Homo-oligomer: A and B are copies of this chain.
Amino acid sequence: MNGVFKALSHPARRQIIAMLRERPRLSGEIAAAFDMSWPTITGHLTSLKDAGLVDAEREGTSIRYRLRLSALEEAVAVLLDLVDAAPKADPIGDLDHGRSD
């Protein structure tokens, strides 16, 4: 859980998360989106994986990374708890980021 905040503390990693929010991506696709070497991106992806924020799955010669939304949601919950100790055991629902599914 500390790992999650550590992982979120680097802009490139937050940007990777933003990319993965749209859809799962191959490693090379992510590396190509940055002005950093591929090994550096692999390192960031490993941090994210260690923090439980992403999953990796081999697919032929490629590896597909996908966001683990639940881990991000936990981080939100912790922050929310710091902001205002409450919406954890008490579903007030004033946040309303509900979607139509």
Contact = CB atoms under 8 A, between A and B. Distances in A.
Interface of A: 2, 5-6, 8-9, 11, 14, 17-18, 21-24, 66-67, 69-70, 72-73, 75-76, 79-80, 82-86, 92, 95-99, 101
A15 B11 CA distance: 23
Copies of this chain assembled into the complex? 2
Contacts of A92: 22
B18 A82 contact: yes
Dominant secondary structure at the A interface:
helix
22 contacts: A8-B8, A8-B9, A9-B9, A17-B82, A21-B82, A21-B83, A21-B85, A21-B95, A21-B97, A23-B96, A67-B97, A69-B83, A69-B99, A70-B101, A73-B101, A76-B79, A76-B80, A76-B83, A79-B79, A80-B97, A84-B97, A98-B101
